[in-house]
Chains A and B, each alone.
Chain A
Amino acid sequence: MASTSPLCPADRLEHRSDLVVRPIPEIRLCLVYRPRPARIVTLNASSWLLFEACTGASVSEIEARVVQLADAHDSRPASSRAGEVRKGLQELVDLSIVQRRQPTPTTEGATS
């Protein structure tokens, strides 16, 4: 697994656009084919949830959303899940299937 810099709460995350995603809900898995370098990544359902939540939102937004979604089904304390979410997102970034969204330059030269 590639070593990447730790995620910050403000980092915006999105899937790589060149992935082939094949969910297998019957066995609570999702397979992701990642070209360049070509590998297949397996995600358990918890990791799959994080992966699907990475649509450009910030790390803190994803954490809040995933913890909220999990609240309905998971009886563990939300605080323990938040730590797992951060670790899980980092894993997806390290495996190069999720990437930090590059800031978009504005006309004033600032970034958003």
Chain B
Amino acid sequence: MNDNALSRIAQLAASNGEPHAGLLDPEVRSGCSFTFSPGGVTPTSWPRFQLVWFYTVDLAKRADFATKIALYESSATMTGAATYRGTYSVTISGAVPELEYRTYWGLDTLAAIQDLNNALNAATTGPLHEWLALISLEKGMRSELMGRTVGSAKLTG
């Protein structure tokens, strides 16, 4: 780099004060934060993994949504390697109220996500299909796959 180019940077640096260099810690938007090992004591009543959906429902459809959820929860919900663990509405949140609903799915193993997908795809009629159809497909909705901390590998993140 020639002196002119260096001088231009020096000009930029004039109001900068002392030099500072630091590692950039990017916000993680996808991928795993923790890896998991088969170990860890997991009570059989607690799923090793949970898949959580964060979503919203159109204001005009919320009453219907609550009815459909009640109908689904009083029927035979999903069981097996993937289990239905409830749908919750946010009561109070420290975040901007955009995604007010959470649905929790329990997974015995990571492979059980395929069972869940199969069951969701197979639900073309019935209570499950009816409440799924009321979820608004909006930008920002997301899901998180979480593993129980007792099974997480150390020193990752």
Which residues of A pack against B, CB within 8 Å?
Answer: 1, 25, 28, 31, 39-53, 55, 65-66, 69-70, 72-74, 84-85, 87-88, 91-92, 95, 97
Best-buried of B6, B11, B19, B26 by chain A (most CB within 10 Å): B19
Asked whether any CB of chain A lies closer than 8 Å to the CB of B20, the reply is yes
In addition to A41-B22, A42-B21, A72-B10, 16 A-B residue pairs with Cβ atoms within 8 Å of each other are: A41-B21, A41-B23, A43-B20, A44-B20, A45-B12, A46-B13, A49-B6, A49-B10, A49-B19, A69-B3, A72-B7, A84-B18, A88-B19, A88-B20, A88-B21, A95-B23
Dominant secondary structure of chain B at its interface with chain A: mixed
Across the A-B interface, the 7 shortest Cβ-Cβ residue pairs: A88-B19, A73-B14, A47-B19, A45-B13, A46-B19, A45-B12, A40-B24
The reply to whether B21 and A47 form a contact with Cβ atoms under 8 Å apart is yes
Per-position binary interface string of chain B over residues 22-51, scored 1 when its CB falls under 8 Å from any chain A CB and 0 otherwise: 111010000000000000000000000000
Q: Is B9 at the interface (CB under 8 A from chain A)?
A: yes
Least CB separation from B18: chain A residue: A84
Where the two chains meet, the residues of B that have a C-beta atom closer than 8 Å to any C-beta of A are: 1, 3, 5-14, 16-24, 26
Nearest Cβ distance between residue A51 and chain B, in whole angstroms? 8
Interface of A is mostly: helix
- B8 — nearest CB in chain A belongs to which residue? A25
A91 touches B6 (CB 8 A): no
Q: Which residue of B lies closest to A98 (CB)?
A: B21
B23 adjacent to A73 (CB under 8 Å)? no
Q: Is the beta-carbon distance between B19 and A85 smaller than 8 angstroms?
A: yes
